[in-house]
Each structure stands twice: as C-alpha cells, then as structure tokens.
Amino acid sequence: MGTCNFSFENICVAVGVGEEWEDYHYDDLKESVVDDLGEAFKKVWGTRATDADGSDYDRNYSGSRIAEVDINHPRDFRVYRRITIWLRSGYYEGACLDYEIEEVDDCSDLRGTKTLDKHVDKCEKIVSSVLKRHGDELQVSARFSNGETWYNKVK
C-alpha cells in the first residue's frame, strides 16, 4: 500500500527532496519566503505580508505556518481575506510549500466586494509566483488505486 508524498491545496512547490533537512534549512527558507512576500506586496494596496508561526498538527503531513498575507477592504480596512503560506512535510521525503485562502471577515454588506475578489485573485497569483522561486512546482501526473502517486515538474 502506497500513499502520495505531498499533501497540498492550491500549489505544490517541492523543497528539500533528495537532501537531508536541518533546522537551519527551515529557518533560511522561512526568512527568504517572508522577505520575498514583503517585497512583492510592498506596493500592492490594502495588503500586508508578515511571518507566522503555528502548526496544523496533522499526523501524516504535518505543516508549519510560515507567512500570512492580509487583504484589507479599502472602505473600512477590515481584513477581508487571509492567504496563509504553509510548509508541509512530505510523507516520505522533502516538503511542500502551499497556501490557503480563508475568509476572515464577511464584507458582503459593503460595496465593491466583486472588485475586491479580483484583487484577491491578483494577490493569489503574486503568492504563487513567489513560492515558485523557492523550489520546483509539481503536479500530479498519475494516482493509482493503491495510493501511489507520480509527480511531474510544471514547465
């Protein structure tokens, strides 16, 4: 019985595959991702990128929150959406950078939420491009009934 190596929601950027990981690898990667996100979002209105800590405590694919991007509503500055960047351990080896988008505050009572949703999509693309700089983006090319999974690099 096999299982897939990576668990991800939106993107799988593999890091540390085929090498031994030490604590300093994690610290360097986290610092680099947070710095790149901060630089990428410096001129994007209504956003703020910060480092984050915490874990999801998943037994098989444990993950650490390494950064968050808050997207504020321009009319009342409530946090509308939050993009959380995760570093999840691979089941067998390596790790995977991924992100999740969560609704923090319901802003449906305010005007301009459709425009804001387009802005969230733009921010999602920025996060995706930043993460791709730190590893190899993979996609599932085959998944078998026994759980074995094959991955291809995205070109």
Residue 1 has pLDDT above 50, yes or no: no
Query: Percent of the chain scored above 70 by pLDDT?
Result: 86
Per-residue confidence (pLDDT) for residue 31, from 0 to 100: 92
3-state secondary structure of 108: coil
Mean pLDDT of 105-123: 79
Per-residue confidence (pLDDT) for residue 145, from 0 to 100: 86
Per-residue confidence (pLDDT) for residue 11, from 0 to 100: 92
Matching residue, tokens 């703020």: 48
98: pLDDT confidence band, cut at 50, 70 and 90?
very high
Strand duo 63-72 + 79-89: pairing: antiparallel
Distances (CA, A) of 100 to 43, 69, 91, 126: 22, 10, 20, 13
Per-residue confidence (pLDDT) for residue 95, from 0 to 100: 86
Ordered structural domains, the chain, with CATH: 12-153 (3.30.310)
Angle at 146 between CA 145 and CA 151, to 5 degrees: 80
Per-residue confidence (pLDDT) for residue 91, from 0 to 100: 72
Residue 70 has pLDDT above 80, yes or no: yes
Contacts of 58 (CB under 8 A, 6+ apart): 7, 88
3-state secondary structure of 138: strand
